[in-house]
A = this chain, B = another copy of it.
Amino acid sequence: MRISDLSRLTGTPVGTIKYYLREGLLPPGQSLGATLTLYGDEHVQRLRLIRALTARGGLSIAATRDVLTAIDQPLEPLDTLRVVHYALPTPVDAAETGAVDEQAPRVDALLRAMGWDISDASPHRNALAASLMDLNRLGMEYSTEELLPYAELAAAAARLDLDRLEHIKDRLRLAEHAAIVVLLLEPVLAVLRRLAQEDESRRRTAWAPGTDGRHTEELH
């Protein structure tokens, strides 16, 4: 297909596609002379992934390139998820080293309690420490015991994630889908939790002061 078809199919302006080509995010098409270059289905899929990572995932062009580079390497299966994980931006930026050091023992305690085998180089150790520090500063400390049930839910979610990925036999597709499952399922799970919070708060009419359980009926 021509670049105009690629633009139409993916809803991406031609100028943006040319930018991605220049930046090396998209592989070049098949040149059939000075004025005609053809693109294939692999360009459609790759372009959609780039759009999802940048527009939805909020990744910079540089971070997107890191993820795509990781995806394009044929790797051992265990390494695939690790490389994708480490190329993706962490959900929280662990900018303050002091905060991270202070919370590191709590992170270690949680990982031990869960029996999780996590690389020392994982960026998620520091990311967890930083987000726990934020909660602390706001007077919302979560103890290891309070975090454990959330960690159990995370483990159950990870099993569902891996159930989905282990059916993918092609290694490049596996890496691509790993990036999607890690990054683009995060907002899905966050939205599901908010929906569940709304429902749960309706069920608990007595969860806050001054409630006698009647106002829920009045609202309906």
Contacts and interface: CB of A to CB of B under 8 A. Distances in A.
A124 B180 contact: no
A191 interface: yes
A77 B210 contact: yes
Q: Interface of chain A, helix or strand or loop or mixed?
A: helix
A4 B210 CA distance: 39
Interface string A143-161: 0001101110111111111
Contact of A196 (B125, B158, B192): B158
Given A200-B162, A201-B162, A131 B184 contact: yes
Interface string A176-203: 0100111011111111111111111110
Given A153-B153, A157-B196, A184-B138, A81 B201 contact: yes
Given A153-B156, A154-B193, A166-B204, 19 more contacts: A76-B210, A77-B205, A77-B208, A78-B201, A78-B219, A81-B198, A90-B194, A91-B191, A122-B195, A128-B188, A131-B184, A132-B188, A146-B164, A150-B157, A154-B192, A162-B197, A166-B207, A168-B208, A186-B193
Assembly of this chain: how many copies?
A: 2
Contacts of A91: 186-187, 190-191, 194
B81 A197 contact: yes
Contacts of A134: 52, 56, 184
